Amino acid sequence: MKRLTLIVVLLLILIGSLGMPERTSAQTKVSPAETIKLDSEMISGLGARSIGPAVMSGRIASIDALVDKGRLTIYVGSAGGGVWKSENGGTTFKAVFDKYNQSIGAVAIDSSNPKTVWVGTGESWVRNSVSVGDGIYKTVDGGDTWQFMGLKDTERFARIVIDPTNSNTVYACATGHLWDANSERGLFKTVDGGKTWQKVLSANDETGCAWVTMDPQEPKILFASLWQFRRTPYSFNSGGPGSGLFKTTDGGATWTKLTKGLPEGDLGRIAVAVSPSRPSVVFAAVEAKRSGLFRSEDGGESWHEMNSGNEVIGRPFYFATLFVDPQNYNRVYKPSTGLAVSDDGGRSFSGIGGGVHSDFHALWINPENPEQIFVGTDGGLYTSLDRGNHWRFIANLPLSQFYHVTYDMEQPYNVYGGLQDNSTWYGPSRAPSGIQNRDWRSVYGGDGFWAFPDPTDPDYVYAEYQGGNLARINKKTLETKDIKPFPGAGEKKLRFNWNAPIALSPTQKGTLYLGAQFLFRSRDHGNSWERISPDLTTNDPNKQKQDQSGGLTVDNSDAEAHTTIYTICESPKNPKIIWVGTDDGNLQITRDGGKTWTNIVGAVPGLPAHTWVSTVEASHFDEGTAYATFDGHAAGDMKTHVYRTTDYGKTWQSLATPDLSGYAHVIREDGVRKDLLFLGTENGLLVSLDGGQQWAQYKGGDFPKVAVRDIAIQPRESDLLVATHGRGIWIVDDITPLRKLTPEILSKEAAFIEERPAAMIIPASEFGFNGDAEFVGRSASENAIITYYQKKRHIFGDLKLEIYDSSGKLISTLDGEKRRGLSRVEWSMRMKPPKVPPAAGLVPNFFSFVGPRVLEGTYTVKMIKGKNTYTTTLTLVSDPRSKHTKEDRLLQYQTALKLYDMLGRLTYTVDAVVDARNQCRQLAGRMPEGSAARQQAETLAASLEALRGRLVATKEGGGITGEEKIREQMGSLYGAVNGFEGRPTQSQLDRMTALGKEFDSMAAEFEATAQKDLPSLNASLEKEKVPGVKVMTRAEWDKKQETK
Amino acid sequence: MRKKTWLIVLILAVFVVPMYAQTVDEIVAKNIQARGGLDKLKKVNTIRVSGRMVVGPGIEAPMVIEQKRPNQMRLEFTIQGMTASQGFDGKSGWSIMPFGGVKDPQPMSEDDRKTIDEQADFDGPLVDYKAKGNKVELLGKEPLEGTDTYKLQVTLKDGSVRTFYLDADSFLEIKQEGKRTIRGTVVEGESLLGDYKEVEGLMMPFSIEAGTKGSPQRQKITIDKVEINPTLDDSRFKMPEVKKEEPKPEDKKAKP
């Protein structure tokens, strides 16, 4: 198609040159707006920024590492945030898997070929909130590029092992589907580097591989466990006839089921580990009716129960690993809720701890130094240099798994949200030195979900932990008041979802909703609650047996709580209209403030019964309009279900297109442009400009293919806040351009698009040298942003932006961004840097390097794109936090400008002095030795050099001479005035006058020299027929500056 | 010139079918053609590029790059009237960083020398790549920010790898990625090239945006002037001798 366009263009050019220009109109004919296909790259030029946080990080599923030439390379596979690589032992990390599925089950480095790394997608720690994978991947260049290597339908991997003697032989332990049966599960083997796979161990369609371990000395000997398991929205089952522990001695061709000494009956999840230093010793943690830790001393033939304490039997579905010390076969680590270790071959275990997050899923022991350990937990990665007695948190992994995001109205505003096993946090949307770990505060405990700053009192925040445990917390003192409602007398307990919905009324400040099976409303900060609905769920008793959930090991943590309300939305147009969705598939509406309710889910076409309602979003524009997403993944339905109604739910239209993928978590309608919709699915963020007819995947600013759980729009800043479940919070600053991006603009070659007015953020910086080991989130730009759209990438000729002030004076010229679609260019709002004369060193003040920042007001922006010019305006406003009056700011600007001009004059003077001195020196060299002319020239050169030495610092040979002359004094004063955009101090103003006088007298001296001494020298020179010294004029100097 | 390039591209597009079966050599040849052709490139012996660098918000530095065939190079930039310079005479590199009060030239580290050595490759690594010992591989056709490109991976003689993205229509380079090893640690850089203009029959980028991969910080270089075959003496590229008696720093300003 492109090529065709090119041909057309070329033909037109040729025809044009033959004098048939009228034909060119065919080229510029605009195609009908509705046919323009919205694609990713049209919108992704609006970059997103990751603000972390990494302070609590997120769940780690797998770790592998390798010591190579004294440096430690680490790969970390996270539950929802992709693969991260460190080449410096964990000081810094970079994401290497962002374009692919971010749920990682297993990472494995090929020890004989360290640039080859395998990644099995889909986490195997199958908690309620776990994601899904899409196969196995391989890199052969250390993570730069990845190849898909198949096993697409396995959904999740527990482990990958590579034959240390043959890189092409790889075993992949595929756990398989969690929410339904499937056949692509079990232990797979490739002998051709992943081109083909053979399933070498399996049982049935409900059973997958739980672990595999290889004898490090005999790579044909492997132990593997199979596990039968299933999760539903309301239950979990671990265990069944498919489970078992197996051994092969022929590389997987034949397997022996190991039973001697192991528990009888159905087994559950089994962890198994061979001792590297004595492979005949094998350990297994076996889930059974009586779970325990077992040890074999004969290579798995027979087993003995060693221990059955909590440290080794807890939550096998979530913790099923064992690691034996590489040098001591009696030391075995059991990661679990805590981390336990046995130093006596498994007989006794003791918990090791320190300040480390609970829930250990991954562990790596340095084979060359077993004192060094890395662990992966629900709260990120830690390392220990004393076998786990003390830990260092790796504060560089922004893997935070948010469930929701909200905001407040402070300056700058804060974002709030709750995370998987990591409480509720809030942090700023901008900070002078980037958004750092220390900028985040936690306000509660447990697993966090919804959090809302109290709109009636910004010191308070509502937050919750699992099971509807709602509290109102003072942000300053952290005093916490439990405000959960209770059942009435004789009633059964309230049923709250794991992720129980809280909602603020958009129309009534101070009104709060909370969903159990009933909808509750409070108008007094949660002090009392009105029940404003009957049970809105199916109340199906078969889905309320959580006390029996778990299978062999009962696990009733609220994670399977069901038949509960999951989403609540009051109409911004009418407080009597409230929409409610439940986890068991009811979608209810009241139009009378809760007196009567109607279940409208039956009107949703093409939706499987009882599909979880993940969001309902009432329109900002019309009370009968609402949007809903449904998430069927917990029943094995991975489709994207997204709908809209315009008649109070009587009828629904699907907004799904073939471009969508991933089960849907959230839909949000923009509050300004009706047809601008944002959709979050397990596979990322999508944007529609036309009410859901077309969707484009958003990829701006390296936004990964990560699960998007919630979306909010900060209305004052028009910022899009994206809560990811594995990569923290991302902000797309100012979505005004998406509101203005019309089909008409999309059909143009290029066009400016409006932005919000640019605030001139108070210049500020923080001191800090924290090393490289801490994540720093990107702050919002402090520059003015200019946005435009281009139909095609700009390649030939200029693409420049010129900024003019209201008098038409050109202030700045900027290079334009070339990309196709929306582009953003940043302008510092500053004039060119001041002219500063050369001297011994730089003026040590940052603001002496930059020009004065212009005043607030409206500026004209011209885009010169090849032969075309486009014009728009740009409005600059002061920082809303700034307390300076316009008069003071004007005085500051004028003072800075005066000093700026003085520096210019100083530069001219110094340049002219140096130029004259050089001429004198040169001429002196041409005069005969001892001649009067020569002596005159030398004297003059020396006096000019002396003058220079009073104008600028000239002491060479080191940075800290402390020498200050006019240049340094004037430069520092300029910097000080330039860096503070309020009224300059009286001392500064006086100093400017004084410096001006000092400088004027030196400039006068130079002028006097030029008028007095030079003519006499030039007269002597004339006698020798040598042209005299000529002083450079300001006009000549100015001209030189222009050509520079 | 632009029309001419397109005409060539078109002729190639029409007659070389099928398009997708293009070989590395064909793509490299088209890139060279798009730049002005081998003859014109080879007639250039020296070049001087002047412009300005934006190294941070509001911080600009005038700069000049001079190059001489086969691999000599000099870069100068000026901040607060003080000019820093870096040079490479084909064998050894040096730099003068006057901002802290020392204006003597200092020799470059081996890692820096390698970098400038590579940058000094006059025609770039694609021209005569075989003779230079470089390997070029076509990684495929892939979109770059929504624009189709040919992605070429160039493995230089010393083993370091560069990736070139050539615009699929014009065959001009619009992005380059590279890895450098500094003290055993890999640093990944990337640069975007644009605003191509014709200078004496050659297509030159007048806009360059460079930075470390993954970092939002970018250096923007705007070219104002390109001079082909200016007189450049070899001495401009050699490490200046230290004048111990009387340093005259102010004499070392960037020539416009």
| Whether the predicted pLDDT of A695 surpasses 70 | yes
**Minimum Cα–Cα distance from A38: chain B residue:** B146
User: Alpha-carbon distance A498 to A802, whole Å?
Assistant: 54
Range A880-897 average pLDDT: 97
What is the nearest CA distance from A941 to chain B, expressed in angstroms? Answer: 13
Residue numbers in B near A818 (CB within 8 A)? 174, 192, 194-195, 207
Residue in chain A closest to B174 (alpha carbons) equals A795
Please tell me which of the candidates B7, B169, B184 has its beta carbon nearest to residue A2: B169
| pLDDT value for A921 | 94
Looking at CA atoms only, how far is residue B154 from chain A in angstroms? 15
Q: Is the dihedral of CA A280, A283, A289, A290 positive or negative?
A: positive
Which residue of A71, A849, A864, A951 to mutate against B (max B Cβ within 10 Å)?
Answer: A849
Q: What are the structure tokens assigned to A819, written together? A: 């990309």
Rounding to the nearest 10 degrees, give the CA dihedral for residues A986, A989, A991, A996. Answer: -160
Considering CB atoms only, which of B82, B169, B220 is closest to A6? B169
Tell me if the domain spanning A406-741 has CATH number 2.130.10.10. Answer: yes
Radius of gyration of chain B measured on its C-alpha atoms: 19
pLDDT exceeds 90 at position A591: yes
The reported pLDDT for the residue numbered B244 is 58
Rounded to two decimals, the ipTM of the complex is 0.89
Confidence check: pLDDT of B17 > 70: no
Best mutation target, A3, A51, A1042, to test chain B (most B CBs within 10 A):
A3
Please indicate whether, in this complex, the C-beta atoms of A828 and B58 are within 8 angstroms of each other. yes
Q: Determine, for residues B99 and A797 on separate chains, whether the beta-carbon distance falls below 8 Å.
A: no
The residue-averaged pLDDT of B212-237 equals 92
- Contact residues on chain B for A792, CB-CB shorter than 8 A: 147
B58: chain A residues, CB-CB within 8 Å: 828, 830, 833, 849-851
Instruction: Name every chain B residue with its beta carbon within 8 A of the beta carbon of A972.
Output: none
Does the predicted TM-score (pTM) go above 0.90? yes
Tell me if chain A has a CB within 8 Å of the CB of B8: no
Indicate the DSSP class of residue A192: S
Average pLDDT over every residue of A962-969? 95
Which pLDDT score, from 0 to 100, does residue B12 have? 41
Using 50, 70 and 90 to split pLDDT, how confident is the model at A1022? confident
Residue closest to A378 by CA, chosen among A446, A287, A309? A446
Q: Provide, rounded to the nearest whole percent, the portion of chain A with pLDDT above 90.
A: 91
pLDDT of residue B243: 63
Q: Is the pLDDT of residue B8 over 50?
A: no
- CB of B83 less than 8 A from some CB of A: yes
Q: Is B147 on the interface with A (CB under 8 A)?
A: yes
Q: What is the pLDDT of residue B213?
A: 85
**How many beta-carbon pairs under 8 angstroms link A with B?**
161
**A794/B195 Cβ within 8 A:** yes
The tokens 């991969």 sit on which residue? B213
Residue at token pair 């006794």 = A348
Cβ–Cβ below 8 Å for B60 and A782:
no
B44 closest CA partner among B195, B172, B171, B202: B202
CA distance A902 to A543: 80
Q: Do A838 and B82 touch (CB under 8 A)?
A: yes
When pLDDT is cut at 50, 70 and 90, the band that residue A927 belongs to is confident
What whole-number distance in Å separates Cα of residue A320 and Cα of residue A322? 7
CB atoms B60 and A792 under 8 Å: no
> Which domains are seen in chain B, by residue range?
2-240 (2.50.20.10)
Which of A10, A793, A832 comes nearest B147 by C-beta? A793
Share above pLDDT 90 across residues of chain B, in percent, rounded to a whole number: 69
- In percent, the amount of chain A with pLDDT more than 70 equals 96
Q: What is the pLDDT of residue B3?
A: 41
Q: What is the CA radius of gyration of chain A?
A: 35
Let me know if A353 is exposed, middle or buried by CB neighbors in 10 A (0-12, 13-18, 19+). middle
pLDDT tens readout for residues A532-550: 999 999 999 999 999 999 9
CATH of range A57-393; options 2.40.128.520, 1.10.1740.10, 2.70.98.10, 2.130.10.10? 2.130.10.10
> What is the per-residue DSSP string for A622-680?
-TT-EEEEEE-GGGT----EEEEESSTTSS-EE---TT--S-EEEEEE-SSSTT-EEEE
Q: What is the pLDDT of residue A1?
A: 35
Whether the CB-CB separation of A821 and A43 falls below 8 Å is answered with yes
Contacts of B250 in chain A (CB under 8 A): 838, 914
Q: Do B99 and A842 make contact, defined as CB atoms within 8 angstroms?
A: yes
Q: How far is B73 from chain A (nearest CA, A)?
A: 20
B58 to A3: CB separation less than 8 angstroms, yes or no: no
Contact B206 A798 (CB under 8 A): yes
Question: What count of other Cβ atoms lies within 10 Å of the Cβ of residue A368?
Answer: 11
How near does any CA of chain B get to the CA of A898, in Å? 18
CB contact under 8 A, A1044 and B256: yes
Q: Given an 8 Å threshold on Cβ–Cβ distance, is A835 in contact with B82?
A: no
For CATH 2.130.10.10, list the domain ranges present in chain A: 57-393, 406-741
- B19 vs A contacts (CB less than 8 Å): 3
Place A329 in a pLDDT band, splitting at 50, 70 and 90: very high
What secondary structure, in 3-state letters, does A683-720 show?
A: CEEEEECCCCCCCEECCHHHCCCCCEEEEEEECCCCEE
